[in-house]
Amino acid sequence: MDTLKHYLPLCWFTLNPLELIRSVSFFKNNLIFYFIVEFFLQANMTDDPIESFYEVSFETLLTLLFIWVMLGLNRSLYGFIQVTAAVVFCSNVVSFFIIPVLVWLTISENTISYYLVGILLAWDYALTTYIFKRVLVLNIPASAVVSLIYAGFTYFGAYTLGQLVQ
């Protein structure tokens, strides 16, 4: 719980991920929670649990691979646990808010629910941009491009690999 309190201010753009506590157990728990939440969201969209399992597995592996390569190229691989935990934790926090909005969207298809999903996805993108900006010491446009590449690599890559397996 103490580690959670250290990571939570990151969601308000106030911390440097490399200065966070290095906790392997927190990292593992976040990764498991991330997998479960993403599986729930994916299964809700595709109606095929096997396909969802493949895509979420690939998405998780591609997330880990992207961050590992990015940090390796930046010669800051020592921060892999903190940075990956930060990215996954922020995604989990946003997902915590997205799930009820998606349920509301599915039930009512209210226009406001679409706007809320868009705002929450923009928040998730902004958090990833902020984390990459602080870790790689980039300006905002460059970190936004890295975040866009990250999103394309993980989500489009997972979808593509999932289709190849099926």
Structure confidence by residue, pLDDT tens digits, 55-104: 999 999 999 999 999 999 999 999 999 999 999 999 999 999 998 998 88
| 10 occurs within a structural domain | no
| 45 occurs within a structural domain | yes
- Cβ neighbors of 73 (< 8 A, separation 6 or more) are none
| 17 occurs within a structural domain | no
Structure confidence at residue 110 as a pLDDT band (50, 70, 90): confident
| 68 occurs within a structural domain | yes
| 104 occurs within a structural domain | yes
Separation in Å, CA 102 to CA 40, 66, 112, 132 = 11, 27, 11, 27
* Enclosing domain of residue 135: 22-165
| 81 occurs within a structural domain | yes
| 98 occurs within a structural domain | yes
The rounded Cα 104 to chain-centroid distance in angstroms is 22
Predicted confidence at residue 2, as pLDDT, reads: 81
| 94 occurs within a structural domain | yes
Which two three-digit tokens encode residue 124? 């998730």
DSSP E strands: which ranges in the chain?
A: none
Quote the number of domains for the chain: 1
The rounded Cα 62 to chain-centroid distance in angstroms is 11
Query: Residues 30, 36, 41, CA angle at the centre, nearest 5°?
Result: 120
pTM for the model stands at 0.92
